[in-house]
Amino acid sequence: MPSSTTLPVLTLPEPLVLLPTARLQLSLDEAAGTRLIELVQRSEVQLVIGTVSCSSSSGLHPWGTAARVVRVVRPITRSSQRIYHITLHGLSRIYYPDSASAGTVKPNELIELRAEYPKTDGSPSPETVAPFRAAASKLLESLAQDATQQSRRDVYVKISHMIEEVSDDRTPWMADVIVAGINKVEYNDKLDYLSAVGPDDRLRRATELFVKQASITEVTKKIAQSIDESLSKQQKEFFLRQQLTAIQRELNNLNRSSPGSPTPDGPPGSRSSSGSELDDNEQSDAEDMAEIRSKIEAMAKNSEERKMAVREWKRLQRIPSGSVEHGVIRNYLEWITSVPWSSSDAYASASSDKLKDRTFLFNARKQLDEDHYGLERIKKRLIEYLAVVRLKQLQAEREAPSSDHTLALVPATPPPNSKSDGDSSPRRAEGDATSGALALISKALNFRPSVGSEAQIKGVPENKEAPVIPTPAPTPSDQMPKRGAASKAVKGPILLFVGPPGTGKTSLGQSIARALHRPFQRISLGGVRDEAEIRGHRRTYVASGPGSIVQALRKAGRPDPVILLDEIDKVGQSNYHGDPAAALLEVLDPEQNHSFNDHYINVPIDLSQVLFICTSNSLETISAPLLDRCEVVQLSGYTYDEKIHIANKFLLPKQLKANGLSPAHVTLTQSALLHVATHYTREAGVRSLERAIGAVVRYKAVEWAEYSDSTGITDIAQLPSVESQKKGQGKLYKRIVEEHELEKILGIARWDEEELHREERRGLVYGLVVTGMGEGGILPIETSAVPGTGQLKLTGSLGEVIKESGELALSWVKSHAYELYITKQRSQDPLKVPDPIDIHLHLPSGAVKKDGPSAGIAMTCAFVSLLTGACVPSHIAMTGEVTLRGRVGPVGGIKEKVLGAHRAQVTKVILPWANRKDVEHDVPLEIRAEMQFVFVRTMEEVLEAAFGKGVLNWRSNMVVMESRL
């Protein structure tokens, strides 16, 4: 009967199984490790515990192993969790009769279980020992052959010798050693072997495992061998196909070099018309390489880009086509040959014909007027630039003939080894085609034929006397690459259009490109946070490429495009990727961008002929060095009159075309357009106006479609009158959209007339503001007196500057309270006499941040109105900075503020005297004719203009006598 005892048992997680004679190392958490240490310290001899495999599906296994605890270590770590490493040595099999009733147990836990030690006495029979020895020897021999390390191979050989020498009684122990040492035995097979108690049963199951593992190893070898054979066959086939492709490419090059040799698919030099353009055949690849070569030869002599391209071409010829570096170099050659280099004569006269036309400026002005309504100052600046471009181009062409070098007569001596076409017969193809083609390429890249050799290639016999050809005398300037006439043109200015969204900044750039007959490219800089997006990545990086500037030049195809750098104020800040704004400094500097260096191209690129146009919504986020390189052009908001013209001329026809209608289908009255602009949009630009007009047009499109389907009338010219439609009692369709129909089409007006219904009350003054999107408007400044201790309370999400303006205004009012009859004595505080009060100043729209000094005079007037009882009329608005002495300082955004006041039907505006020039230059004449402008220098003038002459009583200037002893 087996002996029974209670042991501490450690549950092992799947797929760990501890077999007798084996060692196992694992980690325990703090609870299990602490308990194990307590057991070790409590035991007088070396502690023996039980192990059992624990799986999530079947729970505890009934068979386990009694193991001796060899070592318990707690490593020193920075982690807060304490982990213990233990080492166990398997001794014998044990059986757990209570494993089924143990309940839910987690792995790596110490539990108490009753364990029984089965009896393993007896010797195995010879019928089981012989198959075991044979199967074990075969498996160990196979493992020794597959072992990559010599030490492991020696271990397998030693164990194989031990199997032959060990006695039959020790074979069960040897089976445990081998099964525990094989790592590829499955989890269930190990558990099945662990449950074998008798010697014959253990040997039998071990033999089955060894046969199974030997079979698996043999099958794996066969599969690996077949895969290796297949791969070697594919590599051989790939190598042969590459050789065939190279031979065919060289033969095609030789056939193409002969002027009278037609190709099988068409005329010489023409791409095959059969098949799809997506087919990657050898001929197309050869033609692509020939195109790259021709572009390299077309580059200017001795130029940096030509030297770099020739050097990379030579490297490309030496690298196998299957190499990764081959694709990298070819990609670089495609980029460097596709950039329009200004040193090339191919782009010298790209736009000179248009500039010679006498109607160039007239057509440019006409183009700008057709694309944009208003914006006279911007158009004036652009016409100035175009006029300078034309004059510089004409001046360069006049100076070109006088600067030519004197021609010298030089005999065109042919090269000594040159041969005529008569010698280059088809017999050349009898040699090595590949070496011949490579020789031609090397000759073309390393040797430049003279004028005589060119004449000889064209068919001049060798034995005849070479003609005398005029050749320019060599000068030091001939060593440098010649640049075309375009390089002498005026440098493009860096224009920065600043204005609210929807004011036409991007479309202005397109109009300039059309007026100049140049290609237009747009680069969006919003959110760009990596310097490499401007300068490109270096070629050492994987999947590197040029920056957005070089990509725009490649798309344009000319060295003098119009490039729009959109949203330059939204460029990402400096980070570990670099500073994109700093990278733009070189691009936008006219004194430096003639040698712009892209990290990928790594050759100086001339950007001096490029007309850069930048757009921005504000100037606050643009760095000072970048802003210093730009010529700022302000685009303020449109007036209502300008919006009506833009809607009639541009927006309505555009929406009609986009929605499948003609101008005869829909007509918006002037009053309807004005109502849409004033009540359904509130912006400085026209984007919301365009969306509202588009909604009206789509509504009429639905009406016309339903009417056409019900009546069968498809031609708008056949539409009967409204009276005739009413008589038919069917669906109606009206071409004209009236103002009263807009609420049915667009819904309730988004913007009511709260600005128009202003009230005149004590302590209320209207100031002028500019919103964050560049739109102007009016803002009420409300003040109220409440019981208190003479304090000033400011609310409305105010910034520090506007808070200081409020304190300055109150200080000025206190210092002049006696002159304004607010107090009876100079020493009295108007907030404490006769009754102590607090003044609460509030600016509505509390969720909107407000800051700036321009509300100073409005706050002062509000305080004066509150303390004197006089009211400022509601048709008056004002803006200006106030000083402690009562001086009125200039402010910005005058045009936006005046336009906002005009939209709110304010008829009188009080402005600082220093902003008089801004009104005369920026505010349209029709706006100035409808409004009254009062320019002031001091607060006394402000109060008189705001309250009216004689409304506020001022004490006469009294001489204060001071007694002196």
- Select from 398, 337, 396, 387 the least CA-distant residue to 360: 387
For residues 622 and 616, the answer to whether their CB atoms sit within 8 Å is yes
H-assigned helices in 276-422: 282-298, 304-318, 324-338, 352-356, 360-371, 376-402
DSSP E strands, 96-234:
110-117
Name all contacts of 462-466 with Cβ < 8 Å and 24+ positions apart. Answer: 462/414, 462/418, 462/419, 462/420, 466/411, 466/412, 466/413, 466/414
Name all contacts of 439-447 with Cβ < 8 Å and 24+ positions apart. Answer: 440/253, 440/257, 441/293, 441/317, 442/317, 444/293, 444/297, 445/296, 445/310, 445/313, 445/314
79 is an active site residue? no
- CB neighbour list of residue 24: distance below 8 Å, 6 or more residues apart: 12, 16, 18, 51, 67, 87, 88, 90
510-546 burial by CB neighbour count: b if 16+ within 10 A, else e? bbbbbbbbbbbbebebeebebbbbbbbbeeeeeebbb
- CB neighbour list of residue 576: distance below 8 Å, 6 or more residues apart: none
For residues 693 and 713, the answer to whether their CB atoms sit within 8 Å is no
In what helix (H) or strand (E) does residue 780 lie, and over which residues does it extend?
A: strand 776-787
864-890 burial by CB neighbour count: b if 16+ within 10 A, else e? bbbbbebbbebbbbbbbbbeeebebbb
DSSP string, 680-747: S---SSSHHHHHHHHHHHHHHHHHHHHHHHHH----GGGPPPHHHHHHHTS----SEEPGGGHHHHH-
Rounded to a whole number of angstroms, the distance between the first and last alpha carbons of the chain is 131
For residues 645 and 652, the answer to whether their CB atoms sit within 8 Å is no
Say if strands 604-605 and 596-597 run parallel, antiparallel, or are unpaired.
antiparallel
SS3 621: coil
Question: Which of 295, 854, 865, 895 is flagged as catalytic?
Answer: 854
DSSP string, 71-121: EEE----SSSS--EEEEEEEEEEEE-TTSTTS----SS-EEEEEEEE----
**CA dist., res. 504 & res. 379, Å (int):** 12
CB atoms under 10 Å from CB of 910, counted, come to 26
In what helix (H) or strand (E) does residue 69 lie, and over which residues does it extend?
A: strand 59-73
**Which two structure tokens, joined as six digits, stand for 721?**
């009158």
Dihedral angle sign, alpha carbons of residues 671, 637, 361, 611: negative
Dihedral angle sign, alpha carbons of residues 96, 99, 100, 102: positive
Q: Report the chain's C-alpha Rg in angstroms.
A: 47
CA atoms in the 13 A half-sphere facing the CB of 820: 27
For residues 18 and 90, the answer to whether their CB atoms sit within 8 Å is yes
Task: Give the CA distances from residue 864 to residues 176, 811, 842, 880, 946, in Å, rounded to whole numbers and listed in that order.
Answer: 104, 11, 15, 16, 11
724 is an active site residue? no
- Cα 61 from chain centroid? 58
**Which two structure tokens, joined as six digits, stand for 469?**
């050809």
SS3 565: strand
Whether omega before 834 lies within 30 degrees of 0, making that bond cis, reads yes
Q: Which residues are catalytic?
A: 854, 897
